[in-house]
Amino acid sequence: MARPKEFDRDEVLGRAMQLFWSRGYEATSMADLVDHLGIGRQSLYDTFGDKHALYLAALDHYVERSAAPPFECDVPVRKQLRMLFTSVIDRAVGEPERNCCLLILAAAERATVDDEVAARVAAASQRLEKVLTRRLSAAQRDGEIGSHHDPLALARFLTSAINGLQLTGRTARDRKHLEQIADTTLSLLG
């Protein structure tokens, strides 16, 4: 008879996610995972599979807990975008261990060699693009941004800028530097 699991799967996934977030996939060994998670190697394999399967599960765990930013039509779109960029900058400057989205780090490290990671990153980017496209379309209807903008193209540009700002924030933790990037990006709204 199999012994019942003596750990909470979500809690273990959360801790695995944190370890991958701070070290990355390549620099995290199975021994590191066993030590950090506090569960036996065989239990880890039985529950999650190999390191790659655990990494994918940790990415999924992250996505499940990361909602796309809410954009309300009663708040001006420029103000909402400024708040979004400011939150990215605040995290870059104030949280060195987690100053970048886990999916962006996964894309930088693994997307070119791992189709499953690339698919997860693409899905998350598309989710943000959809939210931004809806909000930018509403802003266009309300006259907040010009009709010459293609809301989908603008949403893709802003998603790319947000992702790029996060990566830049990994090395340039100077608020003024990051705010200049955000200011220039937002100035393109007209």
How do residues 95-143 score in pLDDT, each as one tens digit?
Answer: 766 668 899 999 999 999 999 999 999 999 999 999 999 999 999 999 9
Report how far residue 42's alpha carbon sits from residue 81's, in angstroms, rounded to the nearest whole number. 46
Residue 16: per-residue pLDDT:
96
Report how far residue 92's alpha carbon sits from residue 144's, in angstroms, rounded to the nearest whole number. 29
CATH of 9-63, one of 3.10.270.10, 3.30.700.30, 1.10.260.40, 1.10.10.60: 1.10.10.60
Please answer whether residues 173 and 96 qualify as being in contact, where contact means their C-beta atoms are separated by less than 8 angstroms.
yes
Q: Which two tokens stand for residue 94?
A: 């104030």
Q: Which two tokens stand for residue 48?
A: 């999650």
Q: Which two tokens stand for residue 76?
A: 């001006």
pTM, to two decimals: 0.86
Residue 1: per-residue pLDDT:
45
Find tokens 């698919």 and name the residue.
119
Find tokens 């393109």 and name the residue.
188
Query: What CATH number is given for 68-187 in this structure?
Result: 1.10.357.10
Boundaries of every domain in the chain = 9-63, 68-187
How do residues 29-50 score in pLDDT, each as one tens digit?
Answer: 999 999 999 998 999 999 999 9
